[in-house]
Amino acid sequence: MSEKAKVCIIATGGTIASVTDEKTRSLRPGLSVKELLSTLPKGMSDVEVVHRDLFQMDSANLQPHHWQEISEEILRVSEEIPDLTGIVVTHGTDTMVYSASAVSFMIQDFGKPIVFTGSQISATVPWSDGPRNLLDAIRVAAFADLGETCIVFNGEIHRATRTKKTRSNTYDAFDTMDPQPLGVIARDIVLYEGRKRRHNLVPRFDTRLDDSVFLLKVFPGIPPKILNRIVDLGFHGIIVEGYGEGSLPSEENPLTGGISQAISLGCFVVVSSQCTFGQADLSVYEVGRAAMEAGAMGAHDMTSEASFVKLAWVLGHTRDPDQVRKMMMTNYVGEVIYRIEDEK
């Protein structure tokens, strides 16, 4: 590593970059990387920052192709600046987990930190959390012994594929869904075991994606025909958020018939859990086993967001049922901590 760390900041918009629209009096992204950096304390003489203004978008407007564009920009920067120490991506909090998870799958073995961050309050507001989060993200990208994609927020370092946005208003917007964050940021950067460290392997860039994946939340009274309608709309994969350990209705209004029919038509069905913590173990209850016997795959302990992005990435590579099942069960970037062997 060179004496002076070199970090590239890729701006995509979000609350951290927001300004007040004079006509509507509502917030919209508008700050450049240069303007974001002007909110930070002076004197970062040990870090050289490279600017890249990619988007100015509210993250609610980002689409799957934007994940590919972010990944492609990271590739361009890494080729232009071989001695880069790390990447920071400023991003809106609403869909940050989706984008960061997608980049995790699209860029594997990068060997340096790819750090997503943002804020709950615009960086132009004096009490904004933006400057602290951005400074923390730069520190992690520049100095942390970390070689994976993460989210830095409110003094914590989260693995992208294990994270959920759990709060809409407070500074601690994100939580790690088991077992723990990758680390914390205080006077020093404290990193825990289980993380991927920096390395010099050749990165794998693979942005292939099938964005025809649907995320369906089960609710009491959900009509089974909804699955058929989703398939009719041209979706190739469905993440079904079941109850508890992946339980789905199997008596009145059973979803099992719809699952079986969707699979027979070439659609892939993965059952995750609506619970914040735990696993979708379809073998525990009869109502879960019925879905498994109908052909559904369990998401194990993957979050619904990570399952959604992963299925889109997997289907971008293959539609062979055996390969899809194998890839969904494979732990690529730390998205699976606990795999239920009984579902093989």
Please state whether the peptide bond connecting residue 64 to the residue before it is cis, i.e. omega within 30 degrees of 0. Answer: no
Confidence of residue 201 (pLDDT cuts 50, 70, 90): confident
Q: What is the pLDDT of residues 210-224, one digit of tens each?
A: 999 999 999 999 999
Q: What pLDDT is attached to residue 331?
A: 94
Structural domains of the chain, count: 2
pLDDT digits over 163-180, tens only?
Answer: 999 999 899 999 998 888
Query: Which residues in 58-81 are b (16+ Cβ under 10 Å) and which e?
Result: bbeebebebbbebbebbbebbeee
DSSP assignment letter at 296: P
Q: Tell whether the torsion through CA atoms of 138, 21, 93 and 66 is positive or negative.
A: negative
Catalytic residue list contains 165: yes
Q: What is the mean pLDDT of residues 93-116?
A: 97
Contacts of 333 (CB under 8 A, 6+ apart): 104, 105, 108, 148, 149, 160, 161
Please state, in angstroms and rounded to a whole number, the distance separating the CA atoms of residues 239 and 280.
Answer: 12
Beta bridge partners of 242: 273
| Together in a domain, 17 and 147 | yes
Q: Assess whether 28 and 107 both reside in one domain.
A: yes
pLDDT at 339: 60
Q: What percent of the chain has pLDDT over 90?
A: 77
Residue 209 CA from chain centroid, whole number: 14
Domain termination residue (choose one: 174, 205, 236): 205
Residue in the block written with tokens 């992690």: 140
Looking at the structure, do residues 313 and 193 belong to the same domain, yes or no?
A: no
| 185 plus 273 within the same structural domain | no
Contact 145, 134 (CB under 8 A): no
Q: 194 and 107 in one domain? A: yes
pLDDT at 4 over 90: no
Nearest to 78 by CA among 66, 65, 87, 70: 87
- Where is 288: in which H helix or E strand? helix 286-293
Confidence of residue 279 (pLDDT cuts 50, 70, 90): confident
pLDDT tens figures, 298-311? 998 999 999 999 99
- Residues 229 and 198 sit within 8 Å (Cβ to Cβ): no
If asked whether residues 196 and 217 sit together in one domain, one would say no
Q: Please give the Cα distance from 31 to 11 (Å, whole number).
A: 9
Q: Read off the CATH number of the domain in which 137 is found.
A: 3.40.50.1170
Confidence of residue 6 (pLDDT cuts 50, 70, 90): very high
Exactly one of 165, 206, 211, 318 is catalytic; name it.
165
- pLDDT score recorded for residue 42: 76
d(C-alpha 344, C-alpha 341), whole Å:
6
- Same domain as 256, residue 167: no
Quote the pLDDT of residue 178. Answer: 80
- What one-character DSSP code corresponds to residue 315? H
43: confidence class by pLDDT, cuts 50, 70, 90 = low
DSSP string, 43-104: --TTEEEEEEEEEEE-GGG--HHHHHHHHHHHHHHHHH-TT--EEEEE--STTHHHHHHHHH
Instruction: Indicate whether 55 and 188 sit together in one domain.
Output: yes
Report the amino acid identity of residue 4.
K
Catalytic residue among 15, 90, 207, 256: 15
Average pLDDT, the chain: 92
Q: Is the pLDDT of residue 107 over 80?
A: yes
For range 37-65, the mean pLDDT: 90
Q: What is 164-203 written as a DSSP string? A: EE--SSSS--EEE-SS--SEEESSSEEE-TTSPPP--PPP
Query: End of a domain among 141, 171, 205?
Result: 205
Distance, in Å, from the CA atom of 207 to the CA atom of 189, rounded to the nearest integer, reads: 31
Return the structure tokens found at 110. Answer: 């990068």
19 and 164 co-located in one domain: yes
Q: Which of 94, 129, 136, 301 is catalytic?
A: 94
15 is catalytic: yes
Residue 241's CATH number: 3.40.50.40
What is the layout of strands, in order, in the sheet containing 268-273?
Answer: 213-217, 237-242, 268-273, 297-298
20 is annotated as an active-site residue: no
Judge whether residue 161 has pLDDT over 60.
yes
pLDDT at residue 21, as a whole number? 80
Mean pLDDT of 96-102: 98
Asked if 106 and 71 touch (Cβ cutoff 8 Å), the reply is yes
- Name which of 82-86, 108-112, 120-124, 314-318 the model is least confident about: 120-124
Q: Which domain holds residue 176?
A: 5-205
User: What whole-number distance in Å separates Cα of residue 283 and Cα of residue 185?
Assistant: 40
Quote the pLDDT of residue 344. 44
In sequence order, the β-bridge partners of residue 49 are 7
Q: Are 52 and 80 members of one domain?
A: yes
Q: Which of 150, 180, 205 is the last residue of a domain?
A: 205
- For residue 94, indicate whether it is catalytic: yes
286-293 vs 256-264: helix axis angle to the nearest 10?
20
Catalytic residue among 12, 39, 85, 93: 93
Scan for tokens 């992946």, then name that residue: 246
Both 15 and 74 in one domain: the answer is yes
